Chain A
Amino acid sequence: MTPLPLSIAFAHLWSRKRQTGVSIGGVMLGVAIFIGIGGMMNGFHHYFLSQLVDTNPHIVMSDEIRQAAPQPLTMLRPEGAVEIRRVLPRDPVRGIAGAAAIVGALNAMDGVAAAPSLIGQVILRHAGRDYSVTGIGVDAPREARVTDVVNDMVEGSFGALASNPDGLLIGRQLADKMGVGLGDSLTAVTTAGTQTTLKIVGIFHTGIDAEDQYWGIVPLARQQAMQNRPRVVNEIHIRLADISRSIPLAQAIERRWGFKSAPWEETYARVLDVFSLQDKIMFLTTASILVVAGFGIFNVISTIVLEKARDIAIMRSIGMPSASVVAIFLIEGIVVGVAGMMLGWLAGWGLGALLHMVPAPTGNAADRMPVRLTLLLFVNASVIALLSAVGAAWLPARKAARADPLSIIRGAA
């Protein structure tokens, strides 16, 4: 047989069908908006990060040393009275020493792919105009394993760099700005005083302005020649099979070889901070809807408590303990919360599907708003909805349990 508080709670809610329905609707709406909007924010963050993280290496080792090496005197006498201050780290002007060995060692690691690179400014000259770009010299076959640009080629191919010593890859936006296309030749000038003719062998579109407008990818040997830095590598690009390993692995790499190794989380720390702020704002905004829904539950249960004061009094007089009275009204709040939550799951899923049908402003007509519904969203929405429902029911429930049955019976007599 159904427990007594449960059957009385259901009888109360059933007797106020319309108010109960409105309260359930409020919770449903809150949960649905939480899930739908949260899914859209998740989708946007995931899309944006995947664009950034997949296009670029997961760890970038650069020819920079963050910490000065400990001084021999300090190592010899760590407890000594002389303190050595303002020691600057060594400036490795010649790039990453032993880059070939490092790349070999990294490639031997499980789930790690590494490629050497030389970064340096290049001015592309065409039709009497100069365009400053970041020249990226790459070992094409190896670089293809560490960057997603290979999948973002819209004309030509990434692999063409390997067979064209003077080949150049530029972004769609830069090509449009310069008025050049596949097969066109450009003049490249560097601060080292070199001047070279490059041929466009590929055009890419990553969707990120900074890359599509300001990147020029050339073979590593050509970049070394243009920069007048033969055999020098100043960056090693590392890609991981599991990007969640990036931070500990970057730390291990930096400890082993001494060169600054930045995981993608460090590289895009500002973007991640903005996302975190956005998440907090979204969470507070949508959670507040659920809190407002809680007021609806408070309203319906308070009304029931007022209406049922006589029933509560009679139940207390026949010996129902106050805990059972509290249980009746808490159950009412939980029933409204759970019903609203479950309907909210469905509505949230539907809202997510609806948002996913809206065209995304990416310039590609086939793209739709990215929506990513995760289990965590459903769990968070459910926890807030239930806490809000129980909290809203608790106050009137306590009031009901504390009511003096005799004063109500006397008043009715």
Chain B
Amino acid sequence: MSPALEARALTRILPGPQPTTLVADVDASFEAQSFTVVTGPSGSGKSSLLYLLGLLDPPTSGDVLVNGGSTRNMGNEARARMRLERFGFVFQFHFLLPELRAIDNVMLPMRQLGRLGAAAMRSRADDLLASLGIESEALKVPGELSGGQRQRAAIARALANDPQFVLADEPTGALDSKNGAAVFSIFRGLADEGRTVIVVTHDETLARMAGRAIHIVDGRVAG
């Protein structure tokens, strides 16, 4: 049986007068119901690997296989559609839309996908916020939330379309240690629910909470 997500000889080189290699010849596979952390020093290419795995960035060479299917020949809009349906992203900064209330931010991917009716979307957004412990903040705009609450709202948004894959780039980078540990527990729980969770972090303590770690140095898998 093929892995849920797989990187095959994945390479990303930024073009320019002096081309920069971000990721070089990476092979990695990620099973369903797994929690993997990607660690490495700053500038090692761990975030770049995550963006390649999440179809946010096209590789220079190599391929990303989603449930065994190649994504090499997908156009931008097809990749966007796959991200919308199968991937949930959490970034170091929450990136919530400042004009929208927390619940509206959570409903954003659902509205874009358009599979649920208004009431069902609202109910799912309420449930997600409640599961993350911020149901009482649903009607607040991001400016009225604390850092931890914003990141939880961002996680709720990432889960809005019930994604198979949850990819997070330094999700605890802007949080204190207590909030950071709480957010990591949430990711642990998401993996236990059956999702493939990949988190980039440079926090070794939190990394130990994951079932598996991939260490990246100079764009290559070092262990």
Chain A residues at the B interface, C-beta cutoff of 8 Å: 1, 4, 7-8, 11-12, 14-15, 310-311, 313-322, 324, 405-406, 409-410, 412-413
> How many whole Å from A214's CB to the nearest CB in chain B?
72
B130 at the interface (CB under 8 A from A): no
In the complex, what distance in Å separates the CA atom of A410 from the CA atom of B95? Answer: 12
Which B residues form the contact surface with A (CB < 8 A)? 47, 51, 56-57, 76-77, 80-85, 87, 89, 91-93, 95, 97-100, 104, 108-109, 111-113, 118, 121, 157, 169-170
Task: Check A319/B81 contact, CB under 8 A, given A4-B108, A405-B56, A406-B56.
Answer: yes
Complex: how many Å from CA A324 to CA B104? 17
Roughly how many angstroms separate A15 CA and B99 CA in the complex, as a whole number?
7
Judging by beta carbons under 8 Å apart, are B100 and A317 in contact? no
7 closest A-B pairs (Cβ-Cβ)? A319-B84, A11-B99, A314-B95, A1-B118, A319-B83, A4-B111, A319-B80
- Which of B80, B87, B108 meets A316, CB within 8 Å? B80
A-B contacts besides A311-B97, A313-B95, A321-B77, 15 pairs, CB < 8 Å: A7-B104, A8-B100, A11-B97, A12-B99, A314-B97, A317-B83, A319-B84, A319-B109, A321-B80, A322-B76, A322-B80, A324-B112, A412-B93, A413-B92, A413-B169
Contacts of A410 in B (CB 8 A): 47
Tell me the bound Cα distance from A413 to B51 in angstroms.
13
Q: How far is the CA of A411 from the CA of B81 in the complex (A)?
A: 24
CB-based contact A318/B99 at 8 Å: no
Most buried by A among B76, B108, B118, B121: B108
What are 29 contact pairs spanning A and B, CB under 8 A? A1-B111, A1-B118, A1-B121, A4-B108, A4-B111, A8-B97, A11-B97, A14-B99, A310-B95, A313-B95, A314-B91, A314-B95, A315-B108, A317-B83, A317-B89, A318-B84, A318-B89, A318-B108, A318-B109, A319-B80, A319-B87, A319-B113, A320-B80, A324-B112, A406-B57, A409-B95, A412-B91, A412-B93, A413-B92
Which chain B positions have C-beta within 8 A of A413? 47, 91-93, 169-170
Main secondary structure of the interface of A (DSSP, over half): helix
Q: How far is the CA of A405 from the CA of B55 in the complex (A)?
A: 12
Look across to chain B and name the residue whose beta carbon is closest to the beta carbon of A3.
B111
> How many A-B residue contacts, CB cutoff 8 Å?
76
Distance of A290 from chain B, by nearest CB (Å): 29
CB neighbours (8 Å) of A11 from chain B are: 97, 99-100
Residues of B within 8 A of A12 (CB): 99
Partner pick for B56 among A317, A321, A322, A412, CB 8 A cutoff: A317
For B122, the closest partner residue in chain A by CB is: A1
Which single residue of chain A is at the shortest CB-CB distance from B92? A413
Closest to B109 in A: A318
Most buried by A among B77, B81, B91, B99: B99
Min C-beta distance of A313 to chain B, whole Å: 8
Residue of A nearest to B88 (CB): A318
What residues on A are CB-neighbors of B98 within 8 Å? Answer: 15, 311
State the Cβ distance, B132 to closest chain A Cβ, in Å.
Answer: 17
Residues of A within 8 A of B121 (CB): 1
Residues of B within 8 A of A8 (CB): 97, 99-100
Nearest Cβ on chain B to A97's Cβ, whole angstroms? 80
CB-CB under 8 A from B84, the residues of chain A are 318-320
The answer to whether residues A406 and B89 also contact, given A318-B83, A413-B169 and a CB cut-off of 8 A, is no
Q: State the CA gap A12–B170 with chains docked (Å).
A: 29
Closest to A4 in B: B111
Residues of B within 8 A of A311 (CB): 95, 97-98
Bound together, the chains give a CA A320 to CA B112 distance in angstroms of 7
**Chain A residues near B157 (CB, 8 Å)?**
318
